[in-house]
Amino acid sequence: MSKEHWDNSFSDEDFVYGERENVFIHDMSEMIPDHSKVGCFAEGEGRNAVYLAKLGHDVTAYDQSTIGLEKTKTLASKNNVDVETVAIDLTQEEVKPNQFDAAIMVFGHVPKKDQEFFIKNMVNSVKSGGHVIFEVYSEAQLNYQTGGPKSLDMLYNPAEVLDWIKDYKCIHFYYGEEMRHEGKRHVGLGHVIQVAIKK
């Protein structure tokens, strides 16, 4: 998906995925130590970044959409927190390694040829001992039609995800159904892959 696609996607006045953090990130956020430096990858309009900033973390949000990042700043201001924003194509440009105590990503969908680079880019940004937490739609999501890409090429295969994280301590791995009500784009029962690892 291009920058233009996401700029257009986020151009609605409202927050298309809502203003509340993702349920999985909420549930897993307690594993992130207080006052951590956290990177939020493919963060879109900033709902998870703002949530983590409200918990007292030093948060940087990455996305290729400048409109999404502008909305991140708006949401942060509304919640009286600061979030640093960086416009970047995470499938092409490497983020500085070993800088974060934790990294998160929610429904960051990229073409299959770019998925391994994207995930490893996120993992590499985290210091040894840090955590990486993410939730994405699986290939099975095509059968649900409750959100996410309409192309198999943009969805994730659980075996491939397990291969990408095999060198790290796996704290949580889940492949199955979850209910998601996030704005107007993720509505109802879907099929997800959830990961929490310690580097």
Q: What is the pLDDT of residues 4-62, one digit of tens each?
A: 766 566 666 678 788 999 999 999 999 999 999 999 999 999 999 999 999 999 999 99
CA distance 43 to 61: 6
What DSSP string runs through 93-152?
A: SPPPTT-EEEEEEES----HHHHHHHHHHHHHTEEEEEEEEEEEEBGGGGGT-SSS-SSG
This prediction has a pTM of 0.95
CA distance 32 to 145: 32
Question: Reduced to 3 DSSP states, what percent helix, strand and coil does the chain have, rounded to the nearest 5?
Answer: 35, 30, 35
Predicted local distance difference test score (pLDDT) of residue 6: 67
Two structure tokens written together for 125: 């940004």
CATH number of 3-198: 3.40.50.150
Q: E strands within 7-119? A: 37-41, 58-63, 84-87, 100-106
Q: Within 13 Å, how many C-alpha atoms sit on residue 110's CB side?
A: 20
CA distance 38 to 59: 5
CA distance 37 to 169: 20
Interval 52-100: pLDDT, tens: 999 999 999 999 999 999 999 999 999 999 999 999 999 999 999 999 9
As a whole number of Å, the end-to-end CA separation of the chain is 29
Two structure tokens written together for 112: 């299959």
Contact in structure between 23 and 35 (CB atoms under 8 Å): no
CA distance 49 to 184: 19
Predicted local distance difference test score (pLDDT) of residue 171: 98
Two structure tokens written together for 115: 């998925």
